[in-house]
Amino acid sequence: MTIFTSDGVSSVTENAGAPFGQFEQISRCRGCGRAQGDWFSLLSMDPMPLAGGFCASRAEAVSAPMYPLTWVQCHWCELVQVREDVPDEVLFEQYRYGSSSVPGLVRHFEEYARFLVDRFGPSNVRVVEIGANDGVLLSRLPRSWRRTGIDPSNVAREQQSGDYELLNVSFTLELAKSYPGRGTVDLVTSSNAMAHFTDLRGAIDAAHVLLRLGGELILEVHDLAATLAGGQWDTVYHEHKVEWSERSLKACVGEAGFEPTFIQRLPLHGGLLRCGFRSVDRPHLISRSRGLDGRPFAPLVDAYQRRRESSVYASLSVAQANGRRLVAYGASGRANVWMNQMAELRFEYILDDSPLRMGRWIPRIAVPICPSAKLTADNPEICVITAWNYSQDIKAKHLDFGGKWLQTFSPVG
């Protein structure tokens, strides 16, 4: 495997003649901020387009820029992160992810809203959500709560319902210091948005500035342990700048002046950590890790390196060789990763229910995204579910499908 080990940050635009997009090589941990020297290397993937890059035309898809991707680990807090940092204005300028269009996510946030009301009470709660998206959570919290969402995306701006305050800007330490209600907020929450920050330590510090002493920071993040156990290499991509373990989460958040209050493990996204932290007036400093060990990562690394030996790949390869049509379901970031890492499998189209993605194209491999109703009308022999974390919902919606379902991964547990 090859990784960059320079101490500085250098800008890269192309490599060995490949049309690479712009990125930087980080030299400090995003979570604890410490300089690394040589990173602890875990995985190097084949260059691929951005997982969130759903293109407007076939021509745009074919010419979409590629990026290398290297998974590394901090020598101090053990946070796993992507070495190559793509600028936010490239990653999220056109963010085509609306939580309310995914039934499984809607159910999750309905449950999460009930959890928060049970924990904080029905009234007189001041809450700030980092990464509010289309308001799927805030719109389900009591109107008696003072609700603020902070999200710079076009989706947050265009989908806001109007019954909560939206700051359509990036969440930074500077913003928190200038926020009128700083130091009085009861709850800061974020669901799968804390993976998107380059200055992650600054974002955690900003949450501490907003909260009153004793206020709570509740984070929902991908569970690294579940990702590794399931060999879920399709969740490794540039938008997921970090992947949290329980140890790294407690270390990074603790250093910003928090103490843990609870932890839950949930099945969403193939494995989710929901963790609470109370704002205190003393940081918990961490010491350098006693020695990093790559063995826990072996299931995922092996699954990626042997991806063309999987049963689903074998089935699709045989079907393609016999002239059968291949179609997929779920134009997610996972789909972009999985399909581009095995681009020799030629899919006719991919189905999706999100109006933000229908009519667009998967980058590089130029697969069109079609409405899910096409499955019944077309009735192909094989449909592979790339959004496998929602496979039950997908199959339940298409009970009349007469072909064979396959899926790229199977949930663990």
Here the CATH number for the domain that contains residue 178 is 3.40.50.150
| H helix or E strand, kind and range, residue 48 | strand 40-48
> Among 87, 120, 144, which residue terminates a domain?
87
Q: Is residue 284 part of a domain?
A: no
Looking at the 3D structure of the chain, how many domains does it have?
3
Mean pLDDT of 20-44: 95
Mean pLDDT of 25-54: 95
Q: Is residue 21 part of a domain?
A: yes
pLDDT higher than 60, residue 87 = yes
Indicate if 318 and 376 belong to the same structural domain.
Answer: yes
pLDDT higher than 80, residue 15 = no
CB 259 within 8 A of CB 249: no
Residue 356 has a pLDDT of 85
Q: Is residue 413 part of a domain?
A: no
| Helix ranges restricted to H, 166-306 | 173-178, 200-210, 224-229, 246-255, 298-305
Q: Hey, what are 124's tokens?
A: 């007189």
- Compute the distance between CA of residue 100 and CA of residue 97 in angstroms, rounded to an integer: 9
Torsion, CA 400, CA 401, CA 404, CA 405, rounded to 10: -90
| H helix or E strand, kind and range, residue 112 | helix 103-120
Q: Give Cβ neighbours of residue 100 (< 8 Å, ≥ 6 apart).
A: 106, 134, 135, 136, 159
Indicate if 122 and 171 belong to the same structural domain.
Answer: yes
Indicate if 374 and 251 belong to the same structural domain.
Answer: no
Indicate if 147 and 237 belong to the same structural domain.
Answer: yes
Indicate if 186 and 328 belong to the same structural domain.
Answer: no
Please name the amino acid found at residue 282: R
Residue 5 has a pLDDT of 28
Bridge-based pairing of strands 211-222 and 185-191 is: parallel
DSSP summary character for residue 381: S
Indicate if 193 and 83 belong to the same structural domain.
Answer: no
Mean pLDDT of 70-96: 90
pLDDT higher than 50, residue 12 = no
259: left (phi over 0), alpha (psi -120 to 50) or beta: beta
Mean pLDDT of 79-101: 83
Q: Is residue 373 part of a domain?
A: yes
What Rg do the C-alpha atoms of the chain give, in angstroms?
21
pLDDT higher than 70, residue 374 = yes
Q: Is residue 1 part of a domain?
A: no
pLDDT higher than 50, residue 13 = no
Indicate if 255 and 318 belong to the same structural domain.
Answer: no
Which domain does 188 fall in, by range? 99-279
- In tens, the pLDDT along 308-356 reads 999 999 999 999 999 999 999 999 999 999 999 999 999 999 999 888 8
Indicate if 221 and 136 belong to the same structural domain.
Answer: yes
> Among 87, 116, 137, which residue terminates a domain?
87
Residue 126 has a pLDDT of 98
Q: Is residue 137 part of a domain?
A: yes
> Residue 348: phi, psi to the nearest 5?
-75, -40
> Among 43, 66, 87, which residue terminates a domain?
87
Residue 70, classed as helix, strand or coil, is strand
Cross-strand bridge partners of residue 368: 361
Indicate if 238 and 207 belong to the same structural domain.
Answer: yes
What percent of the chain is predicted at pLDDT more than 90?
Answer: 82
Indicate if 252 and 132 belong to the same structural domain.
Answer: yes
Indicate if 313 and 202 belong to the same structural domain.
Answer: no
Residue 93 pLDDT class (50, 70, 90 cuts): low
CATH of the domain at 383: 3.40.50.720
What percent of the chain is predicted at pLDDT more than 70?
Answer: 93
Indicate if 116 and 243 belong to the same structural domain.
Answer: yes
